[in-house]
A and B are shown apart, each in its own frame.
Chain A
Amino acid sequence: MKIKDVLQPFTAWKNLVKEPITIGEPHKREGAPRYRGFHQNSMDKCIGCGTCEDICQNAAIDMVPVEGQETTHSDSGLRPKIDYGRCCWCALCVDICTTGSLTMSNEFKWVEVDPDAFRFIPGADKKPWDDIEAGYDRADHYELHNFEREDMVELAPEVRDHSFVEIVQGYSKTQAQKEADRCVECGICVATCPAHMGIPDYIRAIREDDIELGLKILYETNPLPEVCGRICTHNCEAVCSMKYRGDAISIRWLKRYIADQVALSDYKGILNQNTIENNGKKVAVIGSGPAGLSAAYYLALLGYGVKIFEAFPESGGMMRYGIPEYRLPYDQIDKDVDYILSLGVEIEYNTRVGKDITLETLQKEYDAIFAGTGLHIGRKLPEKFLPGSDHEHVFAAADLLREVTMGQEIHVPKKVAVIGGGNVAMDISRTIARLQKVKYGKVQLTTTALETEEIMPADREEIVESREEGIVIMPGWGPVKVETKEGKITGLHLRECISVFDETGRFGPKFNEDNTTFVEADMIVESIGQGMDISYTESLGDKLEMGERGKVKTDGYYQSSLPWLFIGGDIVQGPDVIHGIANGHLAAKGIDKFIRGEKS
């Protein structure tokens, strides 16, 4: 061994006194401005839709409950927890985030002794990078979502304003699939839908062009898809996770698309309902509105002999006698109803229970009764609240709508004023406007609402379309007095309404008496709500317990205090079609339990 070989290693010792050339920790080297670093999540913006979890190719994200995040109808209350042992920082979760709450900072250094600390909930577990502005930023042209709703073809105002032909034309297959493709299938909408329809499932069926499967999914929770596909209040769309950065999915029109594609004659085969075994029990249903029809459908499937007693000459209740034909054509109601009747459900028209047949008779002849008689009595302000309202040309909207459906000629003068800001007010306004257009060639109709435009209960599209048809809408005005001259109505005095609800949220309008106006009119229509007529229960007396706000008391199955009597629809909930369908369905389950002795 040479002496050099022995001494050589010690030459490295000279480096001990040298300045190191490496950078010590902590160093201050920032990530690039658009670096895909550690995640941030805004707890308030995030709705817990779980789309980040779905897209993550590494299965790095779990959706977990977080303290302080409540589950509501538009927020699951869950938040993403990311496993940094799996994450590859591809940023797909940020790109797909429906609300834009999930982002990435440009921070990239995190030292921890406990390996489990790298599983964390961004936003909830406070981190030093939570407020860093710099970080991943999607390039402008790069977007995974399509935020724009597929346009619906609708009849132009000049084509529709003098006819009752359906306005909305429905989606084509290409359109429906394109619209369905926008859905992220998060399922946030399901809780909000009163019937809890399998919305993401039937949208997927459209995307995969499996219309038969789509129809089956619809009928699991809703036997009136043609109706709901047209006029449902679509609360689902109000919570759709796509609404935050773009348009909500057109859930209602997609439902209609499915039902429109299938001929009535094919329903039985598709739904596999060719034979239903009769169980020998009988149920009477009062009223063929959405609740009654829904109860009848699900009872019939369970094998019950169902007979509906309908006061009017045709089926559908408010769907036919309340909603105008341009929104819901009668043949579409018929399609849904005919299918239910084809399962053996009988219907006796022009038979008003309480008058043509008594509840007692039904109780004796049937094992249970479901009553869904709806709200058919149009409310009117009494003379003391609205002087002049006793005049024969002051009408209630519900009465006029019913008469139009029945083919009766209603009073249509040149100038009309409508009181009310809800959808029924829009329905009667647009109905009368059409009749005016036919009779006089022009529309002269003013609709006044207590509410300001932002909080008017009518659907936005109803307000827009009403205006397109020549109706003047005056939001924020309350009626004072109906002016008459020589026995004829000349107009309606109005005063400014400054607030509709009081501090507790109850109805208690306040007015500015100094700001008044006058609308010329030969006829006034009041659309201020509808009331129920349950006089057929009078003979039950106190045995039928009443609940809050003048409604009949029912349990979760819509069973009243009389075990054989189930009550649903607008008289207990809503008012709208989908609540009726939902509680008709639940009542059917309840009736089945009651008759089989599983429920007292």
Chain B
Amino acid sequence: MKATLERLKGFFGASDEVIQRDDLVFLTVDKENLVSALTYLKNEAGFKHLVMMSVADWLEEGKFQFTYHVNSHELKKDIALRVFINRDNEDMYTIHTLWPTAMVYERENREMFGINFPGCPRVEENFVLEGWEEMPPNRRDFDTKEYSDKTFFPRDGRTTNDPREYMKEKLYSEEEK
């Protein structure tokens, strides 16, 4: 494990090591080093299992964060590689050639965050949001509430009251009389 981490840091330029638990380490790599680092982990270091891949939107920093979480069954250790890309350049390398299952993650993240994974098969197909026409809903600038209000409200039988206006009506609407 130690040699693997050294290799990641030395050869693949990994940095910002966070030892989350004894068996889980986070490292950050550049986008350009990601595929080669994951290839090394899978083919040479024994981290053969892709546990998951996820995306987070750091709106204020203008970044998307990718996390690739891999596991070594022999070592009983996990390594997670983080990659940050600029939010306005939403292209990411596909890793479906390493793990075919990554295709599903990439398809989902394309739908939810609008990230392109050129070369990934079936990535353009709908994942869960059939007929979606808004901005990708997991982007932080997507206004969920506004969408809900527009789409789901008012619904038959539903009415609401603003506390401030309601209290005015109840408590002091008679004042000017």
- B174, CB-defined interface residue at 8 Å: yes
Q: Please pick, from B144, B161, B168, the residue contacting A63 in the complex, using a CB distance under 8 A.
A: B161
**When the two chains form their complex, are residues B167 and A53 in contact, meaning their CB atoms are under 8 A apart?**
no
- B2, CB-defined interface residue at 8 Å: no
**When the two chains form their complex, are residues B163 and A196 in contact, meaning their CB atoms are under 8 A apart?**
no
Residue of A nearest to B163 (CB): A76
Centre residue among A53, A59, A63, A71 by max chain B CB count within 10 A: A59
- B93, CB-defined interface residue at 8 Å: no
- A497, CB-defined interface residue at 8 Å: no
Q: Please pick, from B148, B158, B163, B170, the residue contacting A119 in the complex, using a CB distance under 8 A.
A: B158
Q: What is the total number of residues of chain A having a CB less than 8 Å from a CB of chain B?
A: 35
A 163-197 to B, binary, CB cutoff 8 A, 1 in contact else 0: 00000000000000000000000111011000010
List of B residues within 8 angstroms of A62 by Cβ: 158-161
CB B159 to nearest CB in A, in angstroms, measures 7
List of A residues within 8 angstroms of B161 by Cβ: 62-65, 76, 78
**B20-69 contacts to A (CB < 8 Å):** none
Q: Answer whether A191 and B145 are a contact pair too, CB < 8 Å, given A86-B152, A589-B176.
A: no
- B76, CB-defined interface residue at 8 Å: no
Residue of A nearest to B169 (CB): A71
- B172, CB-defined interface residue at 8 Å: yes
**When the two chains form their complex, are residues B170 and A71 in contact, meaning their CB atoms are under 8 A apart?**
yes
List of B residues within 8 angstroms of A200 by Cβ: 164
**When the two chains form their complex, are residues B176 and A586 in contact, meaning their CB atoms are under 8 A apart?**
yes
State the CA gap A187–B165 with chains docked (Å): 9
List of B residues within 8 angstroms of A206 by Cβ: none
Q: What is the total number of residues of chain B having a CB less than 8 Å from a CB of chain A?
A: 25
Interface of A (DSSP majority class): loop
- B153, CB-defined interface residue at 8 Å: yes
**A50-B162, A65-B166, A190-B167 known, 12 other contacts, Cβ within 8 Å:** A59-B149, A59-B152, A65-B161, A76-B161, A77-B166, A77-B170, A119-B158, A190-B168, A191-B167, A196-B172, A200-B164, A556-B174
State the CA gap A196–B159 with chains docked (Å): 25
**When the two chains form their complex, are residues B163 and A78 in contact, meaning their CB atoms are under 8 A apart?**
yes
- A58, CB-defined interface residue at 8 Å: yes
CB B154 to nearest CB in A, in angstroms, measures 9
**When the two chains form their complex, are residues A188 and B153 in contact, meaning their CB atoms are under 8 A apart?**
no
List of B residues within 8 angstroms of A57 by Cβ: 144-145, 148
Residue of A nearest to B148 (CB): A59
- A73, CB-defined interface residue at 8 Å: yes
**When the two chains form their complex, are residues A59 and B163 in contact, meaning their CB atoms are under 8 A apart?**
no
State the CA gap A50–B163 with chains docked (Å): 7
B 97-119 to A, binary, CB cutoff 8 A, 1 in contact else 0: 00000000000000000000000
**When the two chains form their complex, are residues B168 and A196 in contact, meaning their CB atoms are under 8 A apart?**
yes
- A557, CB-defined interface residue at 8 Å: yes
- A247, CB-defined interface residue at 8 Å: no
CB A57 to nearest CB in B, in angstroms, measures 4
List of A residues within 8 angstroms of B162 by Cβ: 50, 63, 187
List of B residues within 8 angstroms of A186 by Cβ: 163-164
Q: Answer whether A58 and B148 are a contact pair too, CB < 8 Å, given A50-B162, A71-B167.
A: yes
Residue of A nearest to B174 (CB): A556
State the CA gap A57–B144 with chains docked (Å): 6
**When the two chains form their complex, are residues A73 and B176 in contact, meaning their CB atoms are under 8 A apart?**
no
**When the two chains form their complex, are residues B145 and A49 in contact, meaning their CB atoms are under 8 A apart?**
no
**A569-599 contacts to B (CB < 8 Å):** 586, 589
State the CA gap A62–B148 with chains docked (Å): 13
- A116, CB-defined interface residue at 8 Å: yes
- B128, CB-defined interface residue at 8 Å: no
List of B residues within 8 angstroms of A116 by Cβ: 157
State the CA gap A556–B172 with chains docked (Å): 11
4 smallest CB-CB distances across A and B, nearest first, come from: A187-B164, A76-B163, A62-B160, A59-B148
- A522, CB-defined interface residue at 8 Å: no
**When the two chains form their complex, are residues A188 and B163 in contact, meaning their CB atoms are under 8 A apart?**
yes
Residue of B nearest to A186 (CB): B163
Centre residue among B155, B171, B174, B177 by max chain A CB count within 10 A: B171
- A56, CB-defined interface residue at 8 Å: yes
CB A23 to nearest CB in B, in angstroms, measures 29
- A83, CB-defined interface residue at 8 Å: yes
**When the two chains form their complex, are residues A556 and B175 in contact, meaning their CB atoms are under 8 A apart?**
yes
**When the two chains form their complex, are residues A119 and B164 in contact, meaning their CB atoms are under 8 A apart?**
no
Q: Answer whether A83 and B163 are a contact pair too, CB < 8 Å, given A57-B145, A77-B170, A190-B168.
A: no
Centre residue among B145, B162, B164, B171 by max chain A CB count within 10 A: B164
- A223, CB-defined interface residue at 8 Å: no
Q: Please pick, from A59, A71, A119, A556, the residue contacting B166 in the complex, using a CB distance under 8 A.
A: A71
**When the two chains form their complex, are residues B176 and A557 in contact, meaning their CB atoms are under 8 A apart?**
yes
Residue of A nearest to B155 (CB): A83
List of A residues within 8 angstroms of B174 by Cβ: 556
**Interchain residue pairs with CB less than 8 A apart (6):** A60-B148, A64-B161, A71-B167, A188-B164, A190-B164, A556-B175
**A15-54 contacts to B (CB < 8 Å):** 48-50, 53
State the CA gap A48–B163 with chains docked (Å): 7
Q: Answer whether A83 and B164 are a contact pair too, CB < 8 Å, given A57-B145, A59-B145, A556-B174.
A: no
State the CA gap A164–B107 with chains docked (Å): 71
State the CA gap A58–B162 with chains docked (Å): 17
